[in-house]
């Protein structure tokens, strides 16, 4: 009996091309890494996670995770936009103390250039405080976050959240006002997520979909 012919098997891995992925201009178009794809359209919408330390080299930024999403590919370079950030859970856990209060606020805000974000801020007090003081501090957090967002572009707001050591950061402003209510030990902008953006057609979700997935 004749042996069946072997069909040539194409090595899919060899068919893939490597693309350089870069951060938005706010982060100096720093190279985030490389990623393979057999079709550049398949890169659209892909999310990459890095730490701020990877971009700045500052050890004090090692606990800050950044998320970037590929929005376009030109040649062998994939360009991204900011998708959100989050502090490491172990870092937040290390800030928790007995006989002190943790006050958290989650706020949906809009920037002046039409981006909608969900921002989570946390304030840790030096000692345990009263419910009325917690309420007052949470109100301060909300007022400052909403006001700053409405007066800032997306890039300006991201910068004020991520680089908390800067004098004009959200953290510094919240600390300054919250101390008028109670003794504050630490303030952090724990998390952010890009949700919406305004277009000529109206408000739409800030979701980037690959052309190959459209219409499914």
Residue 215: inside a domain, yes or no?
Answer: no
Contact status, residue 172 vs residue 7, Cβ threshold 8 Å: no
* 120 and 158 housed in the same domain: yes
Residue in 64, 197, 193, 175 with CA at minimum distance from that of residue 119: 193
Last residue of a domain, one of 47, 62, 87: 87
Residue 127: inside a domain, yes or no?
Answer: yes
- Would you place residue 194 in the very low, low, confident or very high pLDDT band (cuts 50, 70, 90)? very high
Residue in 101, 96, 170, 178 with CA at minimum distance from that of residue 137: 178
pLDDT, averaged across the chain: 91
Please tell me the predicted confidence (pLDDT) of residue 200. 77
The number of distinct structural domains making up the chain is: 2
User: Which range of residues forms the domain containing residue 73?
Assistant: 13-87
**Tokens 């590929």 correspond to what residue?**
70
Res. 166: pLDDT tops 90: yes
* 67 and 117 housed in the same domain: no
Mean pLDDT throughout 50-70?
96
Residue in 119, 121, 97 with CA at minimum distance from that of residue 174: 121
CATH number at residue 102: 3.30.479.30
Mean pLDDT throughout 90-115?
95
Contact status, residue 174 vs residue 123, Cβ threshold 8 Å: yes
Residue 73: inside a domain, yes or no?
Answer: yes
Whole-structure pTM value: 0.89
pLDDT tens-digit series, residues 5-57: 555 445 565 678 999 999 999 999 999 999 999 899 999 999 999 999 999 99
Mean pLDDT throughout 169-175?
97
* 120 and 157 housed in the same domain: yes
Res. 178: pLDDT tops 80: yes
Least confident of 58-72, 143-157, 187-201: 187-201
* 132 and 192 housed in the same domain: yes
Please tell me the predicted confidence (pLDDT) of residue 6. 55
Q: Encoding tokens for residue 130?
A: 């009263």
Please tell me the predicted confidence (pLDDT) of residue 78. 97
* 76 and 103 housed in the same domain: no
Residue 5: inside a domain, yes or no?
Answer: no
Q: Which residues contact 50 (CB under 8 A, 6 or more apart)?
A: 32, 33, 65, 66, 68
* 44 and 65 housed in the same domain: yes
Please tell me the predicted confidence (pLDDT) of residue 206. 85
Res. 1: pLDDT tops 60: no
* 113 and 188 housed in the same domain: yes
* 128 and 73 housed in the same domain: no
Please tell me the predicted confidence (pLDDT) of residue 199. 78
């Amino acid at each position: 009996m004749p042996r069946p012919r072997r069909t040539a098997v194409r090595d899919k891995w060899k068919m893939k091309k490597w693309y350089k992925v870069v951060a938005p201009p706010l982060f100096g178009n720093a190279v985030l890494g490389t990623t393979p794809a057999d079709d550049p359209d398949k890169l659209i919408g892909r999310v990459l996670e890095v730490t701020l330390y990877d971009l700045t080299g500052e050890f004090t930024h090692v606990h800050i995770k950044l998320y970037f999403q590929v929005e376009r590919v030109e040649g062998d370079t994939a360009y991204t936009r900011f998708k959100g950030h989050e502090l490491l859970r172990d870092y937040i856990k290390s800030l928790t103390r007995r006989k002190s209060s943790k006050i958290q606020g989650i706020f949906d805000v809009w920037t002046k250039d039409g981006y909608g974000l969900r921002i989570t801020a946390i304030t840790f007090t030096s000692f345990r405080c009263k419910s009325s003081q917690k309420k007052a501090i949470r109100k301060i957090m909300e007022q400052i976050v909403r006001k700053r967002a409405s007066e800032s572009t997306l890039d300006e707001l991201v910068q004020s959240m991520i680089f908390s050591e800067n004098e004009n950061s959200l953290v510094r402003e919240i600390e300054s006002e919250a101390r008028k209510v109670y003794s504050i030990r630490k303030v952090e902008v724990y998390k952010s997520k890009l949700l919406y953006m305004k277009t000529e057609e109206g408000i739409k979700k800030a979701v980037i979909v690959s052309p190959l997935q459209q219409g499914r």
